[in-house]
Amino acid sequence: MRKVLAVVSAALIAISATGCSSIGSNSLIADAAALKPACEKYESSADSDASKVSLTTNKAGAPTVKINGKLSGSTITTHVITEGKGVVATGDQMVHMEYIGLNGGNSAIFQSSKWDGTDMAGQYLKPGEGLDFCHALSGVAEGSTVAIVVPAVTAHGGQGIAELKIGPTDPVVFVFKLAKVFLPRAVGASVPAQSGFPSVVLATNGEPGITMLNTDAPTELKTAVLIQGHGEELKKGDSVTVHYTGAVWNSKVTFDSSWDKGEPAQFELKDDALIDGFLEALIGQKIGSQIIAVIPPEKGYGDQVQGEIPANSTLVFVIDILGVSK
């Protein structure tokens, strides 16, 4: 189920009720820190509009936001209110967060999550889209609380939003708590290629290209780690976020790819939710890893035609494991 966070202009944040896992291991955080940002962070001065926004919480965790002074800036500004210690957002990735949206002119709240973990926003940080939260949140670590102020001309073109009671000169303020920052791609140590598997070459963004072997397909499920991540191990029942590319053995055609769709996919690791081979290949693998799985027909789609996949096909998947939601 997906909800829409009421924002402005052409920007809409797609959100879903979800929980999150704990902050990743120090090794995983360090691996992610080595990635080149897809979005450079905004540089905000100590007296920026965003620095005028403060947040306090009561014993139950319920937030109160105050805007301390007039907001008059002409650019989007970001201010980290409390610093987290988890994976740092760099762009081209999913984040889950608590949120509050306010009218920057009168401090009225126009939408908010419950701040109890039950209805957090799921936002994909993509460069150049909407209100450009990709740049606004770049460099912000999981666990942080951050204020973002969007001037009226950027937020709604100076037209206001009548249904949200936002006037033509009113800026828009967001306060986010980054509860979960997913990896944008696999991170960790590269593992030497194993014989008997198709070769994989990565584009600069991490998207894999698969070159098939000119041999008969294996008759059993085979998996190999291409990049060894340092996060927690996947277990049955987890809700995992992955990037994947799927192809048919000895075919040059990719039949499915989350990379082509522009954002990762989320699957529950349970029977009847995935083909057996995909599920078995993921169980026990670590977050941050990239694996290749060769799946025989009996653990794939068997003798059934599935879209572009012929009957009795052996499947090849390259999967980046980006994180888990609890």
Domain boundaries, position 13: 3-181
CA distance 80 to 46: 11
CA distance 326 to 265: 16
Residues 250 and 310 grouped into a single domain:
yes
Residues 26 and 78 grouped into a single domain:
yes
**Neighbouring residues of 102: CB distance < 8 A, sequence distance ≥ 6:** 65, 67, 108, 109, 110, 172, 173, 174, 175
Q: What per-residue confidence (pLDDT) applies to 141?
A: 96
- Alpha carbon of residue 101 to chain centroid: 21
Dihedral of the CA atoms 149, 150, 151, 152 (nearest 10)? -130
pTM of the model: 0.90
CB atoms within 10 A of CB 38: 18
CA distance 115 to 15: 14
Residues 79 and 106 grouped into a single domain:
yes
Domain end call among 134, 154, 181: 181
Mean pLDDT by 10 residues, the chain (326 residues): 37 46 78 92 87 93 94 93 95 94 96 93 83 88 96 93 95 96 97 94 96 95 98 96 97 93 95 95 98 98 94 97 91
Considering only CA atoms, give the Rg of the chain.
Answer: 22
Residues 137 and 260 grouped into a single domain:
no
289, two tokens: 């890893």
Residues 171 and 65 grouped into a single domain:
yes
Residues 177 and 315 grouped into a single domain:
no
DSSP 55-119: EEE-TT--EEEEE-S----SS-EEEEEE---SPBP-SSEEEEEEEEEEETTT--EEEE--SSSSS
Domain end call among 150, 165, 181: 181
> DSSP label at 180?
E
Q: Which amino acid, residue 17?
A: A
Residues 10 and 148 grouped into a single domain:
yes
Burial status of residue 191 (CB atoms within 10 A of its CB: 0-12, 13-18, 19 or more): middle
Residues 196 and 155 grouped into a single domain:
no
Q: What is the CATH number of the domain that holds 50?
A: 3.10.50.40
Residues 11 and 147 grouped into a single domain:
yes
> DSSP label at 219?
S
Backbone angles phi, psi at 162, to 5 degrees: -60, -45
- Alpha carbon of residue 140 to chain centroid: 14
- Residue pair 113/5 in contact (Cβ under 8 Å)? The answer is no
Residues 170 and 252 grouped into a single domain:
no
Domain end call among 181, 215, 247: 181
User: Number of folded domains in the chain?
Assistant: 2
Residues 202 and 167 grouped into a single domain:
no
- Residue pair 187/30 in contact (Cβ under 8 Å)? The answer is no
230, two tokens: 């340092």
Residues 200 and 260 grouped into a single domain:
yes
Q: What per-residue confidence (pLDDT) applies to 161?
A: 94
Which among 265, 270, 286, 293 has a CA at the least distance from the CA of 196? 293
- Residue pair 323/289 in contact (Cβ under 8 Å)? The answer is no
